[in-house]
Amino acid sequence: MADTQDYDVVVLGAGSGGYATAMRAAQLGMKVALIEGDKVGGTCLHRGCIPTKALLHAAEIADEMREGSSIGVRGSFEGIDMPALHTYKGGVIEKMFKGLTGLVDSRGVETIHGWGRLVAKDTVEVGGTYYRGKNVVLASGSYSKTLGLDISGRVITSDQALTMNEVPGSAIILGGGVIGVEFASVWRSFGAEVQIIEGLPHLVPNEDEAVSKTLERAFRKRGIKFATKTMFDRVEQSDSGVTVYTQDGKNYSADYLLVAIGRGPATANLGYEDVGISMDRGFVLTDDRLRTNIEGIYAVGDIVPGLQLAHRGFLQGIFVAEEIAGLHPRVIDETLIPRVTYCNPEIASVGLNQNKAEEIYGKENVEAVEFNLAGNGKSQMLGTAGFVKLVRLKGGAIVGFHAIGARMGEQVGEGQLMVAWQAEPADFEGLIHAHPTQNESVGEAILALAGKPLHTHN
């Protein structure tokens, strides 16, 4: 082929999965092309994790300003300065973007700017140039699913929600999963009236039921409205607002509708099927070593069925680079991927929830304890309610860690250690948790599991 360039690894897409693959492969001495049509960093940096968490941080400050006088700090919340907020959010993204592109360049990765298409089993074409790799890694990411709705005007997805120039007076959020509850939390803190519509029986339906119920209680207290077991029917929009009709005959009106019903794999028209890659509903199928059915082609990140999280993509990218280099890395255990939802109150979990553990191991073989944050000094200072819950096989290992409460996302690391190491309470009860931290609540939950709760009222 005319104008063909050869590499050890060609990566299509420079989001969390793609850039991690490229950087690790280059670190291992391989010649790498990283093809990106938009911006290195992908969804996470530009339209996902980082911008949403910047808004959530602003939301936390808004709440603190409102509540300051209740702890003796005078002041008042006067509103959100949207341009200033965008400057702050954009500043964080820009700084990280510069750092990331600098790192990618310094590792010797060749970044190709342009939209690529897989035209052969070993070749990606970008604007008439062919990038041939001994190995090809697909990492083209995901997009917001829309139920076929026309995303325009007042019907938006997270992409538009992140760049709005106003705080909506009111918003309907379709979907009470991670992205839905994070925006509900931000907008409520900014002063909006929020209504969530969720088809399943609970908000954050993938979490332990006790966590979902606590979040629902907290949201009710915050004035965030939600209708669960409620199926969307249709939406009508005018210049001034939207009306959502649900299948139970009810309707809801607001300034905007945010469609947050999950993310689909961005794999259409990229040539994947044409070269014979096995796919399922747009997802690229791989084995546990992230190999597709075509030799030399791997896939990482949101296009691979499973949890769509940035840190999963990073780890998969590192894995694939090491696999290609012949380092035989250990297969990634997806059940150990930590999950944090950054709404207020925050949610952190890893491993099995109680229902799932009981389903797998039998109800009689599973036990669970909850340590209520009412007994944790630092949580009381923050004025948060919540708990740490540990799920364990009776007489055996801890298989699930679940926490809810302001800032509890930061506790997920220790939760992951427990579950990953199949720890028993005795393995952890000798570890000291610094006082007064929220981390103590994890130590207290372990004491409770070991049958010797300290700061617990029975």
Ligand X SMILES: Cc1cc2nc3c(=O)[nH]c(=O)nc-3n(C[C@H](O)[C@H](O)[C@H](O)COP(=O)(O)OP(=O)(O)OC[C@H]3O[C@@H](n4cnc5c(N)ncnc54)[C@H](O)[C@@H]3O)c2cc1C
Closest approach of Cβ 139 to ligand X, in Å? 5
Closest approach of Cβ 45 to ligand X, in Å? 8
What are the tokens at 389? 């819950």
Nearer to ligand X, 44 or 93 (CB): 44
Nearer to ligand X, 42 or 443 (CB): 42
Nearer to ligand X, 35 or 242 (CB): 35
SS3 for 452?
Answer: coil
Q: Residue 31 burial (CB < 10 Å; 0-12/13-18/19+)?
A: middle
Closest approach of Cβ 11 to ligand X, in Å? 9
Q: Indicate which residue of 57, 113, 435, 455 is catalytic.
A: 435
**CA dist., res. 367 & res. 369, Å (int):** 7
**CA dist., res. 446 & res. 440, Å (int):** 10
Per the annotation, the verdict on 435 as an active-site residue is yes
Nearer to ligand X, 313 or 405 (CB): 313
Per-residue DSSP letter, 88? H
Q: How many CB atoms lie within 10 A of CB 268?
A: 11
Kindly give the residue spans of alpha helices, DSSP state H, lying in 111-229: 158-161, 178-189, 209-222
Closest approach of Cβ 398 to ligand X, in Å? 23
Task: Report strand pairing: 263-265 vs 142-144.
Answer: antiparallel
Q: Per residue in 127-136, is it b (16+ CB within 10 Å) or e — as a string?
A: eeebbbbebb
Nearer to ligand X, 266 or 399 (CB): 266
Closest approach of Cβ 159 to ligand X, in Å? 8
**CA dist., res. 180 & res. 204, Å (int):** 9
Interacting residues toward ligand X by CB under 6 A: 12-18, 35-38, 42-44, 47-49, 52, 115-116, 139-142, 158, 179, 266, 270, 301-302, 308-311, 313
**Residues carrying an active site annotation:** 435
